[in-house]
Chain A
């Protein structure tokens, strides 16, 4: 007990002192002079710098999107290098100084980014020990590391002294041995998040708070239709406003610039653009006909064994079902924001981009500059949950700054974010399945209709598109993932039909594709369990050999007090209760998660309330258990919102759900309880946790609604209208 208390106090102390470090970090990022350093991901010095004051700077290409990654990466460095948490500063996503570790997405920050950093630190530690051994003239085995020093008995030397002459310019040694998990004292502990004290007191500097001397404020003015042409601009009234600076027009890109933020907002309201009439969007009421009617550019099997078509043909009782999943917006609470400056042909752009290296490439491409003429610097913004409008705001800012030759801040308004962030695309899925004589699933056939995926990942910058400047093709993310299913079924084919068009610029939103595909997979498995007259959780276990997957399901059964029975529950009265289960092994190669959702359905109003979600989660080695819990809770609650409420609405010209009234999200009175059972496997690789739980939530809720009411909802969101319609159909 004493140890635990002492270590918690140390952590709190560390967190407190790091707040100080944190407040100067953006200033450090602001500095123009940066000594040249290597950026390669297979070098120690790419990631780690030991400074003369014996503090450590971590240069991380992975960024903290409000998920606690910064704290977790700091823990990894503290653990491997044996330095106090308070001695570590983190520079994130600065293209001049941080390695390109790929975009911060896909639940890969720890699994991939963190492991590159761990290996670099293990290499550094071995080198420091070797140098210290030479200095002490003792064998390496007798040198220990502690508190940023190498020790031999009572003698010690700081890391700073060991790198003073030679530096730490090393290739990462893939054979350098990281510490054994049993020796961990920092990793695996619930270290308090380093950013929270500043965030709850107004000290934290978000992207939206960043200011430069002489900076102007801009607002963008978006077209009246997605692809409407800008025919004319009357900015007479805007020009009369105090502090007005300029109207910036590049093709269909339009912005106003003013001395003050409010001045820019007023100018954006006063300007009178004339847009061409454009009505190229499908009818919202016939969206799924539109998707089904869209040309397929390519079909590919993502899972194939046996001959499901032949088995299905012989089965008179084969089941068929079609599922659909609405268009979603990211819904960041803070609309996107960026600051850009041009100086001597050099562009610097501060952005909350999850992918500053990719953004730099895209900005250079758009402006026809060499990549080294563009520097992108990450500053944390509002949570983005994928590729929201952050990068688009960055492109807006560089375009406006180029025109006015002064630093410019672009802040999107709420309607810009809801209307113009790239969207989670509409997803349509067809399923066929059959039971064998043994009551197990004999054949499984699934097909998903989703936007095509160009060779290069990256979402078109809106400004480049509007201004008709060079840009890559739009990529919706790896939304084919999650259709391949995790169960032992002899005959399976899962096919992705890539569609040549999708109504809106598409991008990834938390668990992209995996959420939609798992919704259909796990709903359909439930439908087969129902047809087989089996308990849905036992039915899953009957088709699963993987011991880690089985353990997740068994533990979620225990956690939720699951008693086996066949659905539906057959309660009577207006408000009926039900429970539903869902399971996935993320992308079939990593994190296991099983969930039980409990719902109440009001049969009179059609309202669904998710009262409680139970999650069993196995992501291998846990770096920070409290951070993990925070992520899982967030995954559950955010996805309950997406499942029950969310749907982008539009007319033939543009998005019409432009605020929180027309695109409602879950509120406090509706938030479910969340219980968790975290399965820690210290000797296994650490896998991601930012997405997997989200993937299983919609199906668990739909399965619970079926359990409660006996009706099957195959369309997200599960709105009261759809529930009532389904109930009416059956009665």
Chain B
């Protein structure tokens, strides 16, 4: 049986038709709506690569059923900015060259956005703690911390 769910994605109302209400939001975003920001990393809520914002909170889209976000507002990495007009956090990641393979970076930026939304002046320890559940394998940690610091300064 097909189910339809309507929610806002990056400011626009979107409807997805799915077979299974338990399908994680991640697959709706990637496969049905063609977004590339949120990434499949573990499907277990352990790595953070799939992070999006739902009504302003950072959530792991691999672990949230699509049916649960009906009527809510989802923001993905694409919703922050573009290469032509990057968000200050994205610009900070470009300025610090804070990516290697970049596969985890979606989660880093979305998690950092959630941090900076509630704490405009985070300490280095605040940043490390906020990103504690986001995994990076390339070892870009030092640059990512500097990028979040730079973004905080730019947005202050």
Contact = CB atoms under 8 A, between A and B. Distances in A.
A634 B104 CA distance: 14
Interface in A166-217: 192-193, 195-206, 208-209
Interface residues of B, number: 63
A472 interface: no
A66 interface: yes
Contacts of A634: 100, 138-140
Interface string B89-132: 01001100111111111100100000000000000010111011
Contact of A633 (B42, B106, B140): B140
A203 B101 contact: no
Given A193-B99, A633-B143, A660-B42, A202 B35 contact: yes
A67 B100 contact: yes
Contacts of A674: 142
Contact of B36 (A195, A204, A637, A673): A204
A24 interface: no
Contacts of A202: 35-37, 76-78, 106
B55 interface: no
Contact of B99 (A200, A385, A411): A200
18 contacts: A66-B100, A192-B94, A193-B99, A200-B105, A203-B36, A203-B83, A209-B36, A333-B104, A333-B136, A380-B101, A633-B140, A633-B143, A634-B139, A637-B140, A641-B139, A660-B42, A667-B133, A667-B135
A243 interface: yes
Nearest to B28: A262
Contacts of A204: 36, 102
Given A200-B109, A203-B83, A208-B39, A633 B93 contact: no
Given A660-B46, A665-B137, A669-B128, A198 B142 contact: no
Given A66-B138, A196-B94, A202-B35, A668 B132 contact: yes
Nearest to B42: A414
A688 B80 CA distance: 36
A200 B27 contact: no
A79 to B, nearest CB: 20
A554 interface: no
Interface string B9-47: 000000000111001100100110001110111111011
A19 interface: yes
A361 interface: no
B103 A66 contact: yes
Interface in A622-642: 626, 630-631, 633-639, 641
A534 B102 CA distance: 44
A242 interface: yes
B82 interface: yes
A195 B102 CA distance: 9
Contact of B137 (A263, A381, A635, A638): A638
Interface string A55-73: 0000000000111100000
Nearest to A332: B137
B41 A201 contact: no
Contacts of B86: 197, 200-201
A333 B47 contact: yes
Interface in B45-67: 46-47, 49
B41 A414 contact: yes
List of 6 A-B pairs having minimum Cβ-Cβ separation, nearest first? A66-B101, A637-B139, A202-B37, A383-B101, A199-B102, A671-B141
Nearest to A23: B83
A335 interface: yes
A671 B139 CA distance: 8
Given A635-B139, A668-B131, A200 B94 contact: yes
A633 B104 CA distance: 16
A505 to B, nearest CB: 20
Given A202-B106, A206-B103, A382-B101, A671 B137 contact: no
Contact of B142 (A381, A414, A637): A637
Nearest to A667: B132
A402 to B, nearest CB: 24
A334 B39 CA distance: 8
Nearest to A639: B139
B152 interface: no
Given A202-B37, A637-B142, A192 B47 contact: no
A334 B103 contact: yes
Contact of B83 (A16, A192, A260, A633): A16
